[in-house]
Amino acid sequence: MLVAGNWKMHKGPAEARAFCDAFTPPAGVDVVVCPPYVSLAAALASGLTVYAQSVHWAREGAYTGEVSAPMLLELGVTGSIVGHSERRQYFGETDDSVARRTAAALEAGLGVIACVGESEEERESGRTEFVLVLQVESVRDAVGAHERLVVAYEPVWAIGTGRTATAEQAQEAHAFIKSLLDRPVLYGGSVKPENAAELLAQPDVDGALVGGASLEPSSFTAICEAAAAAAA
Ligand code: PEP
Residue pLDDT, tens place only, 75-129: 999 999 999 999 999 999 999 999 999 999 999 999 999 999 999 999 999 999 9
Ligand 1, CB within 6 Å, residue ranges:
6, 8, 154, 159-160, 188-191, 209-213
State in Å: Cα 156 to ligand 1 middle. Answer: 9
Q: How far apart are CA 229 and CA 199, in angstroms?
A: 12
> Nearest C-alpha to atom 4 of ligand 1 is from which residue?
211
Q: How far apart are CA 133 and CA 144, in angstroms?
A: 14
Categorize the per-residue pLDDT at 39 as very low, low, confident or very high, splitting at 50, 70 and 90.
very high
For the chain, percent of residues with pLDDT exceeding 70: 100
Closest ligand 1 atom to 8 CA: 2
Question: What pLDDT shows up at residue 162?
Answer: 86
Question: What pLDDT shows up at residue 81?
Answer: 98
Q: For the chain, how far is it from start to end, CA to CA, in angstroms?
A: 10
Question: What pLDDT shows up at residue 149?
Answer: 98
Q: Where are the domains of the chain?
A: 2-231
Closest ligand 1 atom to 212 CA: 9
Q: Which residues are annotated as catalytic?
A: 84, 154
Residue pLDDT, tens place only, 165-194: 999 999 999 999 999 999 999 999 999 999
User: What would the DSSP string read from start to end of 80-105?
Assistant: EEES-HHHHHHS---HHHHHHHHHHH
> Nearest C-alpha to atom 3 of ligand 1 is from which residue?
211
Rounded to whole angstroms, what are the CA distances from 25 to 21, 69, 206? 11, 25, 17
Contact status, residue 77 vs residue 173, Cβ threshold 8 Å: no
Closest ligand 1 atom to 214 CA: 8
Identify the H or E element spanning 113: strand 111-116
State in Å: Cα 209 to ligand 1 middle. Answer: 7
Q: Tell which CATH architecture fits domain 2-231.
A: Alpha-Beta Barrel (3.20)
Contact status, residue 115 vs residue 209, Cβ threshold 8 Å: yes
> Nearest C-alpha to atom 8 of ligand 1 is from which residue?
211
